[in-house]
Amino acid sequence: MNYIASINAYENLSAPENTNGVMVTGESIAETNTQWLLMQSLLLLEPETPDDPRLKQLQECQTASWLKKLRNNSQKQLCVRLPDGPIETLLPSLASDFDQLSEFMGCTEEWLRARVKAVWDKHPDLSYYMIISNEMLFESMLCGLFDAAQTCGIEKMSILLPLVNRCREAQQQHLFIAQCAIDYDILCDVGIEIATPRAIYFAGDLAKFTDVIVFQVDELCWLLYGKAQNDGRNQYGFHETPFNEFDDIGIGTLLGVAITQVRRSNPDVRICASGKYVLTEKGLQFCKELGINSVIASPQIYSNTTKPDKKEELY
């Protein structure tokens, strides 16, 4: 299965009837109040065995959520982008949160507050790795997705890991996905998003655990220069602001370093660049010279195997 062909769009398609594939995203790690409570309880009181009833209940809830997203896309080339919501929103913070969760778990508010502090101390950055490292929790969430895919009759799909920032994180997710694919008899390949300057410098290691790497160029630019997405000020006094045009010096150097590592580590991996900056004339030319296989925009993807109507054709 060609992973790139399966990423035909992000979620809002302008003309879904004219596309071969669709990207389905998990907007939130937990989309109902029951899921929130289950996730919170499993993070604060980790399951000791796979038979924990909370895991089964969470898996059923996750299956129901994914079914709503997958039902209308089962006949398309499907790419599923796992959720990337901020983990801190899963932890109780308001008095009402503690009241509701303590009732759900049958514990005291004092015990809950102590556990929240312990989780903060263990995972100060509150990254998605907090969930991945809780292996039985992550496996339950993943099985919910595969249950839904199997129910919809999906025989093959791609899974995109968002905002990967650790090699161990990518390796663990890849292993879990590979095992689920075997258990459910679903062909599945894996892609990795790189969206932080930090991840650029071990892109070669990440390439060992993926079929495709997607560089989120807009995110890289905002993080590199410390600029909010909707901040229109040219606060750095650039003659050619990197927020209006592709930055071939700053971002370009980062991408060059990363792609050199990736090609050396895994010559077969496909490389994408995503975002509005790479769709400028300067960005497209840079991608072509650097050997990037495809550029992704919403809603279309343009690659050397797809002819766009506009000028965004790389080859």
Residue pLDDT, tens place only, 65-120: 899 888 877 777 788 888 776 566 678 888 999 999 999 999 999 999 999 998 88
| The pair of three-digit structure tokens given for residue 50, joined into one six-digit string | 């796979």
Q: What pLDDT was estimated at residue 148?
A: 94
Residue 262 pLDDT > 90: yes
The whole-number pLDDT of residue 153 equals 92
Residue 53 has pLDDT above 90, yes or no: yes
Evaluate if residue 151 carries a pLDDT over 90.
yes
pLDDT value at position 21?
55
Whole-number pLDDT of residue 173: 87
- Say yes or no to pLDDT of 162 above 60: yes
Segment 19-33 shows an average pLDDT of 65
pLDDT at 163 over 90: no
What pLDDT sits at residue 121?
83
Percentage of the chain exceeding pLDDT 90: 33
Task: Tell whether the model's pLDDT for residue 6 goes beyond 50.
Answer: no
pLDDT tier for residue 2 given thresholds of 50, 70 and 90: very low
